Structure 1
Amino acid sequence: MLILRALCFFLLFHGFVQAQSSPKPKLTVTPLNDRVYVHTTYGIYLNNAIPSNGLIIKTTDGIVLVDTGWDSDGNTDNTRQLLRWVADSLRQPVRLCIVTHAHEDRVGGISELRKAGVRVISTPLTAQKSLKLGYEAPEGILPADTTFTIGQEPIRCYFPGEGHTSDNIVVWLPRHQILHGGCFVKSVAAFGMGNVADANLNEWGNSVRRVMQQFGTARLVIPGHEEWSDTKALEHTLRLLEKHAASKR
């Protein structure tokens, strides 16, 4: 009986160690259509592997990325995998990366992109905050609301106001009616607000309403984490904000 108990303990402990030390999931890429893909990499938050979403946009003049892979502590393997996937699968150079705010799941892979000769851009505030956090700074050239075209693909970058962070922007692809909300938008699968360490909870709801006014026709809304949907994600974000506020009263 003693031997059996010892064996059960060993198997249980061994399984626990295996689970704790198992590697993060690798990069996945999901096509939304023949021109736009979601890249998903994983980071660790509160000891859990969390998916982080960005975009890959295929244009006639090369690839545009929205956000780097989720990289931290100088390990840029996720962004390296992303560049390798683009080279192997799309066989086009990456021309540009737009980062949507200064957290590691958005800017952590900038150094890897720079090594590959990729231009990385953001708002001036995101560039400043990236440096303060110890990351390479993107070029802080984006106005609060601007549309530019690369390879016949119009791309709009819009600052709706403070929310998840003071510098969060969203990216709109009008030809496809796709909105990349980043961490400013919560997935319909989310039960809570997640990381609000840098959030402006008082203004976030007002900023979401501005996005709904500007991009209410969105066919797809891509949140920073977990599964995507349509504009229900924006409505869900408002509900979560209301629930969070009520819990603090």
Structure 2
Amino acid sequence: MRILAALSFALFYVGFAHAQSKPKLAVTPLTDRVYVHVTYGEYQKDFVPSNGLIIRTDDGVVLVDTGWDTRENTDNTRQLLQWVADSLHQPVRLCIVTHAHGDRVGGTGALQKAGIRVISTPRTAQLASKDGYVSPEGILPADTTFIIGNVPIRCYFPGEGHTSDNIVVWLPKQQILHGGCFVKSVAAFGMGFVGDANLKAWGTSMRRVMAQFGTAKIVVPGHEEWGDTKSLTHTLHLLEKHAAPKR
């Protein structure tokens, strides 16, 4: 009986440990040219999914945000590069970083080592360096559109919100908005990490995004489920709920 009990415990422990291991990279197509890449990081003792974009152009691949990596470990971003090489058979030309937290900028060093240019706003580059991350090139204006391989890409700073430097990325041909952590998924019950947030400005900034990109067919938030523009109004609702007096 003792042997059986010990064996049962060992099997339970192995199963539990396996269940707690970090999930691997997942990639989901949105169109024939745009994919969501999902990597996982640890937050409050749970593994949380983080969403970025893979954009296939006629002149190579553009990434929006790195994998969710730490200063010491860039496994997620290296898995992402391997997936692109194996599945799309194109070089990665560029990565656009949407703010200076590890789930957006953590893999910058791995990309730069691979010869890939990583760009951001000057504010994001400054904050990334201050927090000990490898700094992207801080060259993006507050609102700019450029074309790579016949794909127009717009980078837009709506004002402070989740952070002082958060931008969104708009793909006008596909009508896809990557909101990053500025946008909360409809699956979110709360605001998540707000240690660097400007909660007073966030609502006004969100209304600017809604005025600019209210025609979006797909909105990809920084974490959890993506879908239509309901996530924009849901973010406003969560902000109002967060600001309401606690009873």
- Normalising to structure 2: TM-score of the pair? 0.95
Report deviation, 1:205.
0.7
1:41 is aligned to 2:39: yes
Q: What residue in structure 1 maps to residue 109 of structure 2? A: 111
1:141 is aligned to 2:139: yes
Q: Which residue of 11, 16, 20 corresponds with 1:19?
A: 16
1:30 is aligned to 2:46: no
Q: What residue in structure 2 maps to residue 93 of structure 1? A: 91
Report deviation, 1:61.
0.6
Q: Deviations over 1:79-107 (max 9, x none)?
A: 00000000010000000000000000000
The CA distance in 2 between the partners of 1:57 and 1:248, in whole Å, is 43
Q: What residue in structure 2 maps to residue 55 of structure 1? A: 53
The CA distance in 1 between the partners of 2:54 and 2:108, in whole Å, is 15
Q: Deviations over 1:29-60 (max 9, x none)?
A: 00001000000000010011100000000000
The CA distance in 2 between the partners of 1:247 and 1:192, in whole Å, is 15
Where in structure 1 are there 5+ consecutive unaligned residues? none
Q: What residue in structure 2 maps to residue 224 of structure 1? A: 222
Q: What residue in structure 2 maps to residue 155 of structure 1? A: 153
Q: Deviations over 1:178-235 (max 9, x none)?
A: 0000000000011110011111111111111000000000000000000101110000
Letter in 1 for 2:124: T
Any residues of structure 2 matched to 1:116-135 within 5 Å, and which? 116-135=114-133
Q: What residue in structure 1 maps to residue 80 of structure 2? A: 82
Letter in 2 for 1:43: G
1:171 is aligned to 2:169: yes
Percent identical across equivalent pairs?
72
1:204 is aligned to 2:202: yes
Q: What residue in structure 2 maps to residue 213 of structure 1? A: 211
The CA distance in 2 between the partners of 1:32 and 1:106, in whole Å, is 20
SS at match of 1:188: coil
Contact 2:71 2:132 in 1 (8 A): no
Report deviation, 1:73.
3.7
Judging changes above 3 Å, is the alpha-carbon distance between structure 1 residues 20 and 73 closer, same or farther for their aligned structure 2 residues? farther
Report deviation, 1:77.
0.6
RMSD: 1.7
Runs of 4+ deviating beyond 6 Å: none
Report deviation, 1:11.
4.2
The CA distance in 1 between the partners of 2:68 and 2:246, in whole Å, is 30
